[in-house]
């Protein structure tokens, strides 16, 4: 019978570490940083009321933050507030560069 190597971790610990590591990697690839999500959440009402989407969407499209289909989906909503809310719903799912691209577009 083989004896376990002293430096090896139990299987359940390795699995937990692999899951945590995968979560971090996925955040880096797929998700927006939690601090950026929080900033969007705290400013959600002000942004939903005041964003002017025309040029903003074009900047986000140029930076590959949104797709043409997403732009059309946003623009299909009735009223600027609803359109802005739809963009704010999409942004956190658009990757780690989405927040910076959004901020850059606001300053452009």
Q: Are 73 and 101 in contact (CB under 8 A)?
A: no
Model pLDDT for residues 35-65, shown as the tens digit of each residue: 999 999 999 999 999 999 999 999 999 999 9
pLDDT digits (tens, 9 = 90+) for 2-32: 444 444 444 434 444 444 444 444 444 568 9
72 has pLDDT over 70: yes
Question: Span 76-105, mean pLDDT?
Answer: 97
Q: Among 27-31, 45-49, 68-72, 104-108, which is the least confidently predicted range?
A: 27-31
All domains of the chain, ordered by start, with CATH? 34-107 (1.10.533.10)
Q: Are 37 and 88 in contact (CB under 8 A)?
A: no
Asked whether 32 and 92 are in contact (CB, 8 A), the reply is yes
**In a 10 Å sphere around its CB, with 0-12 CB exposed, 13-18 middle and 19+ buried, how is residue 17 labelled?**
exposed
At a CB cut-off of 8 Å and minimum separation 6, what does 66 contact?
57, 60, 74, 87, 90, 94
């Amino acid at each position: 019978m083989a004896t376990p190597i002293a430096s090896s971790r139990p299987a359940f610990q390795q699995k937990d570490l692999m899951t945590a590591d995968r979560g971090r990697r996925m955040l880096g690839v797929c998700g927006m940083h939690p601090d950026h999500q929080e900033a969007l959440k705290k400013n959600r009402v002000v942004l939903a009321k005041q964003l002017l989407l025309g040029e903003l969407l074009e900047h986000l499209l140029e930076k590959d933050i949104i797709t043409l289909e997403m732009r059309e989906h946003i623009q299909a909503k009735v009223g600027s507030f609803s359109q802005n809310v739809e963009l704010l719903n999409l942004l956190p799912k658009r990757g780690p560069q989405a927040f910076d691209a959004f901020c850059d577009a606001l300053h452009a």
